[in-house]
Chains A and B, each alone.
Chain A
Amino acid sequence: AQKITQTQPGMFVQEKEAVTLDCTYDTSDPSYGLFWYKQPSSGEMIFLIYQGSYDQQNATEGRYSLNFQKARKSANLVISASQLGDSAMYFCAMREESAGGTSYGKLTFGQGTILTVHP
């Protein structure tokens, strides 16, 4: 079974500073995908970034980067130059995949971290 652990219930960061949101995972699957989603107070889930377990390089998407340490089973999200609009709940999730990256679909989510950006 897959499990995601987010140990930080809440995080605070000053505007324009960088912040790291922690995520550790547990799985026996040889191939998997790791995701981060943002959920504002409106409730929508916004996809931020994806990392495949066989990807050699850490994923980056604009101000988001994923610090993937496979041996430690961690997939921390780094947000650079925080903005007030980054205040939201952030979820780490994972999914079993085939070696070629084909999806088996269903995601397992962590409990989430509430990020508050101060001006």
Chain B
Amino acid sequence: DGGITQSPKYLFRKEGQNVTLSCEQNLNHDAMYWYRQDPGQGLRLIYYSQIVNDFQKGDIAEGYSVSREKKESFPLTVTSAQKNPTAFYLCASSGTGSRSYEQYFGPGTRLTVT
């Protein structure tokens, strides 16, 4: 089945540690995105990538880093510089071209940093 995989579903880390969230898609989509969601809030864009080896900052990129070495994979690293890393992280992908409007989301990773 085609879709987006995010692992793990729950992640716990100590403050000061970097942590990498994985995102894999087998939809052959060119574009991939990372969003952050805080309780009771909407999603905010962290980073996005429209092609391999290229990515752009979203609205809240500070304290995060990404890479896009393969079309299928778009890992997000939450660095120790991120002041409030505890949140729900959602990865998404979409095709490009006319009417490619649907953005598919993964199941998300809940990160708790203590």
**Pair from one complex:** yes
Residues of A within 8 A of B (CB): 4, 33, 35, 42-45, 47, 50, 52, 91, 93, 95, 100-103, 105-112
Q: Is the CB of A111 within 8 A of B42?
A: yes
Given A95-B101, A102-B100, A106-B58, 7 more pairs with CB closer than 8 A: A43-B107, A45-B92, A45-B105, A50-B102, A103-B95, A105-B94, A107-B33
Q: Is the CB of A103 within 8 A of B42?
A: no
Q: Is the CB of A101 within 8 A of B48?
A: no
B27 within 8 A of A: no
* Chain B contact patch, size range: 20 to 34
Q: Which of B55-114 contact A (CB under 8 A)?
A: 58, 88, 90, 92, 94-105, 107-108, 110
- Shortest beta-carbon distance from B85 to chain A in Å: 17
Residues of chain B lying within 8 A (CB to CB) of residue A102: 96-98, 100
Residues of chain B lying within 8 A (CB to CB) of residue A4: 42
Assembled-state Cα–Cα distance A43/B35 (Å): 13
Residues of chain B lying within 8 A (CB to CB) of residue A93: 43
Residues of chain A lying within 8 A (CB to CB) of residue B35: 109
Residues of chain A lying within 8 A (CB to CB) of residue B108: 43-44
- Shortest beta-carbon distance from A56 to chain B in Å: 15
